[in-house]
Amino acid sequence: MSYMEKTRPTIEDILVKTANHYGLNRGQMTQPRRGPLPISWPRMLAMAIAYEQPNTGKAVGKVFKRDHSAVVKAHQRVGDLCQNHPDLKEELTQLRQVVGGI
């Protein structure tokens, strides 16, 4: 790999950088219950970004303590919401820059 190539962030990197960006901790991002919107939205964004890397739903789910179908659903939900809400699309774009490698 040349010095010009970017390395993609790991699933753990995405989780931690997203948590830091939203002022959350790792435990909040991986808690077993869905949690309030200030926790669930950042978690959905992080899972969606990690799933796009490409990672399997199973791999992403393992880090976030979710089933693979929850990861796929989060990816779909984020995509649907971003199509209809430009501010959410901008938030996703900003988070992709924060986690880097994308």
pLDDT classification of 101: cutoffs 50, 70, 90: low
Amino acid (1-letter code) at residue 15: L
- Residue 29, C-beta contacts closer than 8 angstroms, at least 6 positions apart: 15, 18, 19, 39, 42, 43, 46, 64
CA 50 – CA 99 distance, rounded (Å): 10
Angle at 74 between CA 40 and CA 15, to 5 degrees: 60
pTM of the model: 0.88
Mean pLDDT of 37-48: 92
Averaged pLDDT score across all residues of the chain = 89
Res. 24: pLDDT tops 50: yes
Q: Where are the domains of the chain?
A: 11-23+35-99
CATH number of 11-23+35-99: 1.10.1750.10
